[in-house]
Amino acid sequence: MASSGRKLGVAMDFSPCSIKALKWTVDNVVKEGDLLILVIIRPSQHYEHGEMQLWEVTGSPLIPLSEFSDSTNMKKYGLNLQSEAVVPLMKIYWGDPREKLLEAIDHIPLNSIFIGNRGLGPLRRAIMGSVSNYVVNNASCPVTVVKSEHGHHH
């Protein structure tokens, strides 16, 4: 049978919570032939203007993770994504995580998205609670919220 070729998105900000969501997705969901897309949302003000204006509306092109793995050093995050089955791509958006995640779902388009229930930097609870809820309530595809328990590492 031909590969199912699903497009699976993971909302990623490199917080422990989003790393956990990514690991969980890789361990439990991804099958050979699926496309794993890390959807990274950055606050607008963090980027060089030229690059941002160019991609602000559509997000960046899909970037093969291999181009990133040296610079971002995925090993540091305890992720071994070099398996044959999974070739993750990254797509970066700038702006409001709620709007941009919904855009990513429609534009890529994703069959399904996975999101940590906490994370997204300094605005953690206020934002992330609302981001995962917002996406769950508004997304045009199934959303899985990967729970992350409080505790050991703070």
Q: What is the pLDDT of residues 13-51, one digit of tens each?
A: 777 888 889 989 988 998 888 899 999 887 766 555 555
Answer yes or no: is 128 within a domain: yes
Confidence of residue 151 (pLDDT cuts 50, 70, 90): very low
The two counts, helices (H) then strands (E), for the chain are 5, 6
- Helix, strand, or coil here: 10? strand
Domain contains 109: yes
pLDDT in tens, 73-123: 555 555 555 555 566 888 888 888 889 999 999 999 999 999 987 655 455
Structural domain harbouring 26 = 7-146
State residue 128's pLDDT score: 54
Q: What is the CATH number of the domain that holds 109?
A: 3.40.50.620
CA angle 59, 126, 16 (to 5 degrees): 65
Q: Which residues of 78-108 are buried (b: 16+ CB within 10 A; e: fewer)?
A: ebebeeeebebbbbbbbbbbbebbbbbbeeb
Reported pTM: 0.72
Task: Name the domain count of the chain.
Answer: 1
Instruction: Flag whether 108 is in a domain.
Output: yes
